[in-house]
């Protein structure tokens, strides 16, 4: 084999290896892009609590919200330890299974009319399992019951002399506080 034939064979082998490498990199890149698109457009169903001051009481709400870009069907909602609402002493959302939740939609319920009189303490783990099409997801959210001790609200009870304007102003302040 002559030197020119060796050079030509080497160039062919390098060309084949380069082509194979380019194809492999393209396939890996395509899979990464597809995974990124799926992650960006999937549902993200989470649970959290919020507090709303209504005149002299601070009501506690339990909320399930889909922060994702596609809808999901809730498969289960599990609490560890058991989490009951204080109004009726019942489980929270015992019938949530098979419920569709659209992107941006939230489902909420009042769990306490006075959040500062709760008997719960410690940490609660909430597991929400849901699916969208054939993809199944699970989120574990930690709720710290002691956080309520760090929250401050300005409780006011209107008297007979309180004007409608004052009540409306306080309600507006609460709405604006919730947007922060």
Task: Tell me the pTM.
Answer: 0.70
Judge if 15 and 65 occupy the same domain: no
The count of domains in the chain is 2
Residue 180 has pLDDT above 50, yes or no: no
Q: Flag whether 166 is in a domain.
A: no
Looking at the structure, tell me whether residues 16 and 53 fall in a common domain: no
Three-state SS for 169? Answer: helix
Query: In which domain, by residue range, is 134 found?
Result: 45-152
58 & 122 share domain: yes
| Percent of the chain residues past pLDDT 90, beyond the cut | 33
Residue of 107, 94, 98, 127 lying closest to 65 (CA atoms): 107
Q: Is 79 exposed, middle or buried (0-12, 13-18, 19+ CB in 10 A)?
A: middle
| 123 plus 55 within the same structural domain | yes
For residue 73, give the CATH number of its domain: 2.60.40
Q: How far apart are CA 33 and CA 86, in angstroms?
A: 47
Q: Do residues 112 and 133 share a domain? A: yes
Tokens encoding 77: 């909602």
CA-to-CA separations, 143 to 82, 105, 123, 170, in angstroms, rounded: 12, 21, 6, 28
CA pair distance 90, 178, nearest whole angstrom: 27
In a domain, 169, yes or no: no
| pLDDT, tens digit (0-9, with 9 covering 90-100), for 63-102 | 999 999 999 999 999 999 887 776 777 888 999 999 999 9
Band (pLDDT 50/70/90 cuts) for residue 137 is very high
């Amino acid at each position: 084999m002559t030197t020119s034939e060796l050079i030509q064979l080497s160039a062919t082998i390098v060309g084949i290896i380069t082509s194979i490498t380019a194809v492999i990199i393209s396939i890996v890149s395509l899979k990464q892009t597809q995974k990124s698109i799926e992650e960006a457009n999937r549902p993200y169903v989470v649970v959290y609590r919020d507090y709303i001051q209504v005149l002299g009481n601070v009501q506690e709400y339990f909320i399930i919200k889909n922060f994702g870009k596609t809808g999901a069907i809730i498969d289960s909602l599990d609490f560890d330890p058991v989490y009951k609402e204080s109004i009726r002493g019942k489980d929270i959302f015992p019938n949530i299974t098979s419920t569709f939740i659209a992107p941006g939609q939230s489902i909420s319920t009042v769990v306490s009319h006075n959040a500062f009189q709760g008997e719960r303490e410690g940490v609660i783990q909430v597991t929400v399992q849901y699916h969208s099409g054939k993809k199944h997801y699970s989120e574990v959210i930690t709720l710290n019951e002691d956080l309520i001790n760090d929250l401050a609200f300005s409780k006011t009870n209107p008297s007979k002399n309180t004007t409608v304007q004052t009540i409306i102003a306080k309600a507006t302040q609460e709405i604006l506080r919730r947007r922060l």
